[in-house]
Amino acid sequence: MRRRGPRYACDTHYPWQVDEVITGGKLQIRDGQLASPPGPGLGVTLDRQELARLHDNYLQCGIRVRDDVTEMRKHQPDFDAHRPRF
């Protein structure tokens, strides 16, 4: 079935994510698409040990508020954080 209407790119950071909590490694993006694995739900199995490690990492890091502006200004000092109005 062909999709009608506008198509929008998904803002994903997944390709640059180093760690993974899915058993068997990262899902593959092919031709700009991420296919859901077969099976019930999302069809994946969580690596509970890796999930626990990353959860502990989150608890230890102390970051609780997202600050994209500071990170962007490291790369583009004149970054304007105002959202565009369409």
Residue 26 domain-assigned (yes or no): yes
Q: Is the pLDDT of residue 39 over 60?
A: yes
Q: How many helices (H) and strands (E) does the chain have?
A: 2, 2
Separation CA 65–CA 19 (nearest Å)? 21
For residue 71, the surrounding DSSP H or E stretch is: helix 68-75
Please state the domain count of the chain.
Answer: 1
The pLDDT value given to residue 6: 61
- In terms of residue numbers, what domain contains 50? 14-75
* Tally of CB atoms within 10 A around 45: 12
Residue 49 domain-assigned (yes or no): yes
The pLDDT value given to residue 50: 95
pLDDT band for position 11 (cuts 50, 70, 90): low
Residue 22 domain-assigned (yes or no): yes
Q: Rounded to the nearest 5 degrees, what angle is found at the Cα of 16, between the Cα atoms of 65 and 85? A: 55
Residue 54 domain-assigned (yes or no): yes
Residue 7 domain-assigned (yes or no): no
Residue 5 domain-assigned (yes or no): no
Residue 62 domain-assigned (yes or no): yes
Residue 4 domain-assigned (yes or no): no
User: Does the reported pTM lie above 0.75?
Assistant: no
The pLDDT value given to residue 38: 75
